[in-house]
Every structure is written in C-alpha cells, then in structure tokens.
Amino acid sequence: MLPALTLFLLFFALPVGYAVHLSLRRVEVEGLGLGGGAREEVWAGLSNYADALGDPELTAGALRVLGYGLIVVPVMLGLALVFALMLDADRVRGRSFTRLAIFLPYAVPGVIAALLWGFLYLPDVSPFHYLLGELGLPRPDLLDGGPLYLALANIAIWGGTGFNMIVIYTALRAIPAEVHEAARLDGCSQLQTALRVKIPMVAPSLVLTFFFSVIATLQVFSEPTTLKPLTNSVSTVWSPLMKVYQDAFVRSDIHAAAATAVVIAVVTLVLSFGFLRAVGSRTGQEESR
C-alpha cells in the first residue's frame, strides 16, 4: 500500500491542502505596489470564499454549465445505452468494427476534438454550410447565441458516448447466458428482453456512467476555451473552471482562484455524495421488498 499512499499524498492530498491554504490568504499592496515589501501575503480568513460565492460571474457560469449539462448527460447516456444494446443483440454483424468506431472519438484529445468541430462550425470554412447553401437550405451559425450550447454539447457527446457505451456493453456481456435463455423461453422479444431484463441488470453501470458524466460536465473547460477564439459568444468566464483560470493566470489573483476552485470541488463532492446516497437508499428499499 505504500507506493499508492505516497502517490495519493504527493499528487492529491498535498495539492488540495495547498489550494485550501492559498484560499485563506490574500495579498495586501501598499502604495503603487512597487519595490520590496510593497506586497505582503496576509491572512484573509473566509473573505475569499465570501467573494467567490457572491461573484455574479461564477453564478452565471454555473447556470450556463447547468444548461449545457441538461443537454449533454441525457443525450450521451441515452446514445451509449442504445449502442450497447444494439451491439449486444443477436445476429449483429460487424460487432468489433462498430464497437471500435463508436469508441474511437473518445481517444481523440478534447482540444483536438474542439478544434475539429470548431472549424466545421465556422460558416466561412465549413463544408456543411457550403452544402446547405448549394441546396438552398438555411445555414445556422452554431457559434452564435443559443445554438452555442448545442455546438458545445455535440463535442462532448461525440467524444464521451464511446466510453460510456463500452462500460455499459461490458456489463451487458457479463449477464449470464441462462438469463437470456430464460427470457427466450418465456417468449420475450428482443425489445422486451432489453427493457425488462438487460437494462435493470446493468443499472449499476448506468449509475456509474451518470456519475462520471455529471462530474465531467461540472468540469467543462477545454471545449469552450478552444472555441473562444472562433466566436464572441464564449466569454473568458463562460464556465466556472474558466473563471478559475482567468483569476489565476490573467488577473494574477491566485488566492481568489484557489477559493473558487475549492468551492467548485465542494459542490461537486456534495452533489456526487448526495446522488450516491439517494441511489444506495433506493437500492436498499428495493432489496428489502
């Protein structure tokens, strides 16, 4: 256990503790802030947290991420479940190639995927816009206004569906063959078997993928950051993590950034713990019945 404990302390516990330490301090500037001793780091208590919780930019970013997540999570998990069920169906052809093709976008780094889709969204260079124009169809600008949420969600769905599909498909393949045989003997069709047998038996995998998807949604950063140079609709503080980056490396306020990061981590932990408790209590009630 010593190597794992050492890695945990060095690369998780120590950085988290240092972030908490920074969040409790601030820099006082005397005069113009020039010369030695003009800047001094002092104890700030919870003032950085109060500023973070009252920051309208952070609140607006959280609301934007909420709208983004309401699109990404259900669509991505729905597609992953459908693809996994289709691959697990009888008489399916090209299972290995299809599984690899669906999973392959997950292997593309997030920045590369955002750049790829970003240029496909740009009206001046997008082949889709050219084809729509040739066909006389309307050409929407997905990088402007409300469609921006769909553009960002599409990148996340394209990249994350394959991973979730593999998790669910692995759980489906672990279902004993006797269960499938019993469903056939009872006269269940493929659809009835999927709805009444397969989906209930892979519920733990669905919970796991939902859990990971929510965490990834709360931590969205690379997609809006990469698309920002391509459109004015993405601000520098579009998501909470972009706000942290802006405070730390643009405004040079590492203490405010640390406080905001701790707030985001606590909110993520509370939501995750609450969701797992709710799922665990519901599972316990069903088992007791």
- Here the CATH number for the domain that contains residue 280 is 1.10.3720.10
Let me know whether 128 and 149 are in one domain: yes
Residue 50 belongs to a domain: no
Let me know whether 33 and 78 are in one domain: no
Let me know whether 74 and 139 are in one domain: yes
What percent of the chain stands above pLDDT 70? Answer: 94
Residue 89 belongs to a domain: yes
Tokens for 111? 């920045």
Let me know whether 32 and 73 are in one domain: no
| CA 69 to each of CA 28, 64, 65, 139: distance values in angstroms, whole numbers, following the listed order | 39, 9, 6, 26
DSSP-derived 3-state class of residue 175:
coil
Let me know whether 189 and 164 are in one domain: yes
Q: What is the pLDDT of residues 146-202, one digit of tens each?
A: 889 999 999 999 999 999 999 999 999 999 989 988 988 888 888 899 999 999 999
Residue 204 belongs to a domain: yes
Tokens for 120? 């496909």
Mean pLDDT of the chain: 89
Let me know whether 194 and 162 are in one domain: yes
Let me know whether 136 and 28 are in one domain: no
pLDDT of residue 227: 92
Give the integer Cα–Cα distance in Å for 261 and 218: 12
Give the integer Cα–Cα distance in Å for 19 and 25: 10
Residue 45 Rama label (left phi>0; alpha psi -120 to 50; beta):
left
Residue 153 belongs to a domain: yes
Q: How many domains does the chain have?
A: 2
Let me know whether 104 and 231 are in one domain: yes
Which residue shows structure tokens 């931590």?
219
pLDDT of residue 42: 85
Q: What is the pLDDT of residues 201-234, one digit of tens each?
A: 999 899 889 989 999 998 999 999 999 998 888 9
Q: Which one-letter amino acid corresponds to residue 41?
A: E
Domain that includes residue 149, residue range: 57-288
Let me know whether 27 and 75 are in one domain: no
Let me know whether 188 and 238 are in one domain: yes
Picking from 166, 176, 138, 16, the residue whose alpha carbon sits closest to that of residue 81 is 166
Let me know whether 115 and 183 are in one domain: yes
pTM of the full structure: 0.88
Let me know whether 146 and 166 are in one domain: yes
pLDDT of residue 31: 63
pLDDT of residue 86: 93
Residue 51 belongs to a domain: no
What percent of the chain stands above pLDDT 90? Answer: 60
